[in-house]
């Protein structure tokens, strides 16, 4: 029955290095295309890094991730899942940001996602820096707060930067909690590590009931145990999954702006996503891939490999 679904171009028909790159070689369907109504999961690029406070570059992420994604085949080697035969997947293109205006960019992103959600499509985003998640959540959580499983070496829960700047890639989830987009008691942050300015973000998390699983606890307990707790925290309700590539050790993912050593390897980076099976995922993102710092291209390839794992579990949820 696979012919009922949008099918990626197979490397057996056209070599994977040939052709115009779309996410995972899927059809590109613009928002105005009537086929949008047939899409179950939409892969969307947000080439935007105006929230970056240190080394920039994620605005170039979607293009690099599309190119790297042509390496992805149709079947998951670990789980056997063939997501493109379970649900309809398509590349919905990029949101055009305004690189000179953060507020306008966020409004454009939310408007784009509102159209996507109105069509019944579950979004899988390629960022973009981590501020991207905020305007996406404004759409995904427009009918009520959602839970979140967040992989990152940082909490991104800071109040502000530079004496009062509220919108940076270090603040999206503080804003999301304040604005009622996230239910803090259904939020878990995994992989937190690195040097710190202070405990301001951690104190906020404690006060709100956000569960932080630092990397020391992650390695002491192991993936299955930690992810079991994560699934319990979010429960059966609607859940967003946000994946900052700097969750992964910079040995495996050097192409990012704010690397922190002492993190998971690339196998563990994939395995945590496989443990999301059954979570009611209403949207997910892969953010902070920065091609200018990704000299060998391995970070982008890991990024799209994580996106494929996300797509496999999301397809299971959508297919029911
Ligand atoms: Mn982040
Ligand atoms: Mn981070």
Q: What is the 3-state secondary structure (H, E, C) of 254-295?
A: CCCCCCCCCCCCHHHHHHHHHCCCCCCEEEEEEECCCHHHCC
Mean pLDDT calculated for residue range 97-102: 97
Number of domains forming the structure of the chain:
1
pLDDT, averaged across the chain: 97
44-58: pLDDT as tens digits: 999 999 999 999 999
The answer as to whether 249 is a domain residue is: yes
The answer as to whether 11 is a domain residue is: no
Q: Which pLDDT band holds residue 1 (cuts at 50, 70, 90)?
A: very low
The answer as to whether 24 is a domain residue is: no
Q: Which pLDDT band holds residue 39 (cuts at 50, 70, 90)?
A: very high
217-255: pLDDT as tens digits: 999 999 999 999 999 999 999 999 999 999 999 999 999
Ligand 2 centroid from CA 171, angstroms: 11
Ligand 2 centroid from CA 248, angstroms: 9
Q: Which pLDDT band holds residue 318 (cuts at 50, 70, 90)?
A: confident
The answer as to whether 115 is a domain residue is: yes
**CA quadruple 234, 237, 238, 244: dihedral, nearest 10:** 10
The answer as to whether 228 is a domain residue is: yes
Ligand 1 centroid from CA 119, angstroms: 28
Ligand 2 centroid from CA 247, angstroms: 6
pTM of the predicted model, to two decimals?
0.98
Using the predicted structure, report yes or no on whether residue 131 has a pLDDT greater than 70: yes
Domain that holds residue 150: 30-319
Ligand 1 centroid from CA 316, angstroms: 26
Q: Which of 234, 198, 193 is nearest to 215 (CA)?
A: 193
At 273, list the tokens: 């996503």
At 150, list the tokens: 């967040």
The answer as to whether 79 is a domain residue is: yes
115-121 contacts at long range (C-beta below 8 A, 24 or more positions apart): 115/31, 116/31, 116/36, 116/42, 116/44, 116/92, 117/142, 119/36, 119/37, 119/39, 120/37, 120/40, 121/36, 121/39, 121/40, 121/41, 121/42, 121/92
The answer as to whether 18 is a domain residue is: no
Identify the three-state secondary structure at position 111. Answer: helix
Q: Is-contact 267 305, C-beta < 8 A? A: no
Ligand 2 centroid from CA 288, angstroms: 7
151-195: pLDDT as tens digits: 999 999 999 999 999 999 999 999 999 999 999 999 999 999 999
CATH of the domain at 233: 3.40.800.10
Ligand nearest to the CA of 171: 1
Ligand 1 centroid from CA 123, angstroms: 19
Ligand nearest to the CA of 51: 1
Ligand 1 centroid from CA 280, angstroms: 22
Ligand 2 centroid from CA 49, angstroms: 13
Using the predicted structure, report yes or no on whether residue 2 has a pLDDT greater than 60: no
At 237, list the tokens: 């309700």
Paired residues of 239 in beta bridges:
147, 281
The answer as to whether 22 is a domain residue is: no
The Cα 296–Cα 205 span in angstroms is 36
Ligand 1 centroid from CA 14, angstroms: 36
Ligand 1 centroid from CA 273, angstroms: 17
């Amino acid at each position: 029955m696979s012919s009922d679904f949008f099918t990626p171009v197979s490397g057996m028909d056209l070599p994977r290095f040939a052709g115009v790159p779309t996410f995972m070689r899927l059809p590109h369907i613009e928002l105005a295309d009537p086929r949008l109504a047939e899409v179950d999961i939409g892969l969307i690029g947000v080439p935007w890094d105006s929230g970056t406070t240190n080394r920039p570059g994620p605005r170039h992420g979607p293009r690099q991730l599309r190119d790297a994604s042509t390496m992805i085949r149709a079947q998951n080697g670990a789980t056997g899942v063939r997501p493109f035969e379970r649900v309809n997947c398509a590349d919905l293109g990029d949101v055009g940001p305004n690189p000179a205006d953060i507020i306008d960019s966020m409004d454009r992103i939310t408007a784009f996602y509102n159209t996507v959600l109105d069509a019944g499509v579950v979004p899988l985003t390629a960022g973009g820096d981590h501020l991207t998640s905020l305007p996406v959540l404004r759409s995904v959580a427009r009918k009520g707060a959602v839970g979140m499983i967040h992989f990152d070496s940082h909490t991104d829960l800071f109040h502000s930067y530079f004496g009062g700047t509220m919108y940076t890639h270090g603040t999206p989830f503080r804003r999301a909690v304040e604005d009622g987009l996230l239910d803090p008691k259904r939020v878990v942050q995994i992989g937190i590590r690195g040097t710190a300015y202070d405990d301001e973000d951690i104190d906020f998390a404690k006060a709100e009931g956000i569960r932080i699983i630092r990397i020391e606890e992650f390695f002491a307990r192991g993936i299955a145990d930690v992810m079991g707790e994560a699934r319990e925290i979010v429960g059966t309700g609607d859940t967003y999954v946000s994946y900052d590539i700097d969750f992964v050790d910079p040995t495996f993912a050097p192409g990012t702006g704010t690397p922190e050593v002492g993190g998971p390897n690339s196998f563990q980076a994939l395995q945590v996503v496989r443990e999301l099976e059954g979570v009611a995922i209403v949207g997910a993102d892969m953010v902070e891939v920065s091609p200018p710092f990704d000299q060998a291209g391995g970070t982008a390839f890991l990024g799209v490999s994580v996106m494929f794992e996300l797509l496999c579990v999301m397809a299971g949820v959508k297919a029911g």
